[in-house]
Structure 1
Amino acid sequence: MQYLPYLEQSGFEVRYQALLGQDYVANLATGRGYSRSAIARAYFERMALLARAPDADLIWIYAEAFPYLPASFERLAFRSGKPVVVDFDDAFFHNYDSSPRPLVRALLAGKLQPLLAGAAAACCGNEYLERYAKRFCRRTMLLPTVVDTQLYRPGSNGRGGDEVVVGWIGSPSTWSYMRPLLSVLQSLRAELPVRFRVVGAGTQAKADAFPGLDFVTWSEATEVADVQAMDIGIMPLPDEEWARGKSGYKLIQYMACGLPVVASPVGVNSTIVTDGTDGFLVTDPDAWRSALKRLIVDAALRRQFGRAARARIEADYSLQVHAPRLVGLLQSLAQPAEAARSR
């Protein structure tokens, strides 16, 4: 969505349809359930849209058109005969080929392969995803997750109190990555003037609460301010298939706001963070504790790392840098289709 202004400035008219709406996102952020009838209705609406063969020069699909339905439904995207671009920033294919449910693996393991094989191009959030896409798609582009650095920027206030704020932002589905670290955080809280700010973990995560651990409800309207209220950002990850396909959005948010970071060296995290320059890459609990303590007690080091982190995102993970690349790709695909339609 953040690319839309750039696309429109470049002459694209963009019409979009989310499969599920903002109320679904709100429920996801809090861990609440969602109406199955509303989901079924959304699927039927998308089927009807694609079956009508939309009058467009290009169809751009994020991840997949019909989660957990067979590949035959994905082929509806090609009904119009126009180029299709697939864009994904998580290892969605592992939802199927690595599912713990045998029936899902048996029926859907190769679900995304026909979509990628028929696509004119695939935009991939990191090298792990691009390696997968290249097996099926004839044209790929590494398009990292980015933020608008005019929006995500170091805060002018909200930090610098008596306690250092170590923060995490995510969703209920990723809170499990934080649980192995909680004993480390508690020990730091007992020793140092530090608080922990958790954004978007959902109501169930409050069972893990301890003094000094503050839970904040995620909101799109306050997301940037919530990150700016932190002094250090953290991103623990297990070394697992799904985690290796993640695109480091948390790190990019933190670093764009001028925060030093501590992260697991899993997947793209090792590319985003330059260890010892803008953050620390750590593995075991002792290393996590040592890295966090070093940043908590040393305000000058936090500032030094924070400046380097901000520069890193401006140079390599900003909307301003990558929007022209995406525009160029879509123009190269849409123009032949537009010319054919005008003949």
Structure 2
Amino acid sequence: MTVTYFSKSSIIGPSSRYRIFQFLPHLQAAGIDCRVAPLFGEMYFSILAVQSSALRAFLKIPYVFACFLKRLWALLVMGKRDLIVIEGQLFPYAPPLAERLLRWCRYRVAIEMDDAIYLTPGHERKMPALLSMATGAIVGNDRLAAYANQFSSRVCVVPTVVDTERFKPDLTRSTGSSAQNSEAITIVWIGLAYNLKYLNVLAPALRALQPTFHLTLRVVCSQPPYMPGVEIDFRTWDFQREVADLQDATVGVMPLEDTEWARGKCGLKLLQYLAVGIPAVASPVGVNRDIIVDGENGFLAATEQDWYERLDALCRQPQLRARMGQAGRRTVEERYSLAVWGPRLAGVYQTLTENEHLNVVHRAVHGPVSGHHRSTGTR
């Protein structure tokens, strides 16, 4: 079986890295020849980090134009493929002409979404058109599936997952035996710069806790946050170091505002924390409610007082941290690991090349898969 995957970016981009690049060995083992054709490379993220908006636009426009030409060439020389998977869209903000041409040429096309791109300006009409013309859709959670199901009769939920052979606990680290207010406490957050705004949700709790504990907020990102009154340990994200930057932290956090956009997120940072065996506190928004069983493998915090109380409890009780960390690791191993989902994604790709309704995907991929379909026939 042959698949071409048109990704948003090279392996440097977290979405593409977790939605396709980490799956390649599993696809190959299943006999699937999957070739990835990225749109943007590392330079794109460097351009986005430029502070001057005028300079950023000056650099971005010719770079994007060159990337579009490269993708157009990739389409022209692609040849026969059993399935084409498009992460989001072929040409951002452009009309879906290329996707229509692929369907006119009788290619089987699957649209993949791991965030609520349909909420962003310029995509309110484009995403319904893409989903309606595609053979099927692969989405990261039930919220996205509910949206895609309005336009596509073949929708499958494949959650974002982590490689538990790479993200694993540091077994040499001691969790401690008693609560010590003098103990150094590291609260960690990892993510992209445009999500730094969510840290404002827990900033009051961190400021309130600092007089009691030797507490530091570690931020693993491309730029530091602005949080007066909070001690920041800023670390530039690095692929080789990202696991270690999480392993020696005390607690992981995933604050979110309760918006439609946030409800479409796939909880990647939360899974990273749990995979390395540290407890997590998260806002009860979207998929976070599915991942965290409150009080068992982590805590959910809806208010400023919730954030203070949950973080205070974890700062004071190393035994609680150890118990929740172990439970969180089991959650990822059983439900959100690459080892579990690698073979399942291969099954999804294989099914999308068949003339069967998506309920076959649900049967073929044994385990906690969500299948969604309309009763309007097959595509």
TM-score w.r.t. length of structure 1: 0.88
Structure 2 distance, partners of 1:69, 1:335, is 30
Letter in 2 for 1:133: A
Structure 2 distance, partners of 1:317, 1:30, is 35
Tell me the secondary structure at the aligned position of residue 165 of structure 1: strand
Shift of 1:28: 4.6
Shift of 1:334: 3.7
Aligned to 1:309: 328
Deviates further, 26-35 or 207-216: 26-35
Aligned to 1:322: 341
Shift of 1:335: 6.5
Does 2:71 match 1:46?
Answer: yes
Shift of 1:159: 7.1
Structure 1 distance, partners of 2:228, 2:44, is 26
8 Å CA contact retained: 2:145, 2:156: yes
Q: Classify 1:27/1:274 alpha carbon distance in 2 versus 1 (closer, same or farther; 3 Å).
A: farther
Shift of 1:266: 0.5
Q: Map 1:1-343; keep pairs closer than 5 Å.
A: 1-28=21-48, 33=56, 35-52=60-77, 54-96=79-121, 104=122, 108-157=123-172, 162-200=183-221, 202-203=223-224, 205=225, 207-208=226-227, 210=229, 212-334=231-353
Structure 2 distance, partners of 1:186, 1:17, is 45
8 Å CA contact retained: 1:168, 1:198: yes
Tell me the secondary structure at the aligned position of residue 112 of structure 1: helix
Structure 2 distance, partners of 1:171, 1:29, is 11
Shift of 1:152: 0.8
Where in structure 2 are there 5+ consecutive unaligned residues? 1-20, 177-182, 356-379
Deviates further, 325-334 or 170-179: 325-334
Q: Classify 1:209/1:217 alpha carbon distance in 2 versus 1 (closer, same or farther; 3 Å).
A: farther
Shift of 1:79: 5.0
8 Å CA contact retained: 1:184, 1:288: yes
Tell me the secondary structure at the aligned position of residue 6 of structure 1: helix
Tell me the secondary structure at the aligned position of residue 3 of structure 1: helix
8 Å CA contact retained: 2:169, 2:276: yes
Q: Classify 1:176/1:116 alpha carbon distance in 2 versus 1 (closer, same or farther; 3 Å).
A: same
Structure 2 distance, partners of 1:81, 1:165, is 54
Where in structure 1 are there 5+ consecutive unaligned residues? 97-103, 337-343
Structure 1 distance, partners of 2:291, 2:339, is 17
8 Å CA contact retained: 1:31, 1:172: no
Letter in 1 for 2:160: T
Shift of 1:29: 6.7
Which structure shows the higher helix fraction?
A: 1
8 Å CA contact retained: 2:89, 2:111: yes
Structure 2 distance, partners of 1:77, 1:92, is 21
Structure 2 distance, partners of 1:82, 1:126, is 26
Post-superposition Cα deviations, 1:317-336, rounded to whole Å, max 9, x if no partner, equal 11111112111121233478
Tell me the secondary structure at the aligned position of residue 239 of structure 1: coil
Deviates further, 25-34 or 212-221: 25-34
8 Å CA contact retained: 1:50, 1:76: no
8 Å CA contact retained: 1:29, 1:218: no
Q: Classify 1:30/1:112 alpha carbon distance in 2 versus 1 (closer, same or farther; 3 Å).
A: same
Q: Classify 1:27/1:38 alpha carbon distance in 2 versus 1 (closer, same or farther; 3 Å).
A: closer
8 Å CA contact retained: 1:248, 1:268: yes
Q: Classify 1:227/1:80 alpha carbon distance in 2 versus 1 (closer, same or farther; 3 Å).
A: farther
Letter in 2 for 1:167: V
Letter in 2 for 1:255: L
Shift of 1:295: 0.2
Shift of 1:27: 4.9
Aligned residues: 324
TM-score w.r.t. length of structure 2: 0.80
Identity %: 37
Structure 1 distance, partners of 2:248, 2:213, is 19
Structure 2 distance, partners of 1:301, 1:14, is 43
Shift of 1:282: 1.0
